[in-house]
């Protein structure tokens, strides 16, 4: 990568919320540049929402997004973190984290329903964010 090549990230935190069959999903997008910064946002959200059923996330770091992580936080494997990560990839953003906080609404969504809900919540948060280019 040359010095003149840019990459996309978000300018400032953004949020969105959706409901799916009684469950509430609140999504938060944050600009982050280090893993410790990402962990700090998670710590804050866990403190703010101790009653949440799940707090799932994904992040990409570095100009090419080479450093990344995703967590299902107790949801069935691959039903939350990967779909969130997929939205980061689709938006082509890096130095960005999306966290989706879920409160169970009484009706099971099944794996396909969870994937769709986490994808939609993450997409909504990224759409609410201002995407900028950095060099």
What single-letter DSSP state applies at residue 73? T
Q: Return the domain boundaries, the chain.
A: 7-134
CB 100 within 8 A of CB 57: yes
- The domain over range 7-134 is classified in CATH as 3.30.230.30: yes
User: Which tokens is 53 given?
Assistant: 């059923």
Mean pLDDT, range 11-16, rounded to an integer: 98
Non-local (6+) Cβ contacts of 21 within 8 A are 105, 107, 109, 113
CA–CA distances in Å: residue 106 to residues 19, 50, 53, 70, 76: 12, 18, 11, 25, 17
User: Which tokens is 24 given?
Assistant: 């509430």
Task: List helix spans (H) across 1-135.
Answer: 35-48, 81-91, 110-128
pLDDT band at 100; cut points 50, 70, 90: very high
With 50 as the cut, is the pLDDT of residue 101 above it?
A: yes
Q: In whole angstroms, give the CA distance from residue 17 to residue 36.
A: 25
Q: What pLDDT, in 10s, does the model give residues 19-62?
A: 999 999 999 999 999 999 999 999 999 999 999 999 999 999 99
Mean pLDDT, range 96-118, rounded to an integer: 97
Q: What is the dihedral of CA 104, 107, 110, 111, to 10 degrees?
A: -20
What is the model's pLDDT at position 4? 62
Q: What pLDDT, in 10s, does the model give residues 70-86?
A: 999 999 999 999 999 99
pLDDT band at 1; cut points 50, 70, 90: very low
């Amino acid at each position: 990568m040359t010095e003149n090549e840019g990459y996309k990230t978000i300018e400032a935190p953004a949020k969105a919320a959706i409901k799916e069959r009684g469950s509430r999903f609140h999504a938060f997008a944050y600009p982050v540049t280090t893993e410790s910064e990402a962990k700090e946002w998670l710590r804050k959200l866990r403190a703010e929402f101790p009653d949440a059923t799940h707090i799932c996330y994904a992040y990409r770091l570095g100009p090419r997004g080479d450093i990344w992580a995703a967590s299902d936080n107790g949801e069935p494997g691959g039903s939350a973190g990967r779909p969130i990560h997929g939205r980061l990839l689709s938006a082509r953003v890096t130095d960005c984290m999306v966290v989706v906080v879920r409160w169970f609404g009484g009706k099971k969504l099944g794996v396909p329903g969870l994937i769709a809900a986490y994808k939609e919540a993450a997409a909504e948060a990224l759409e609410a964010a201002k995407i900028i280019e950095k060099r």
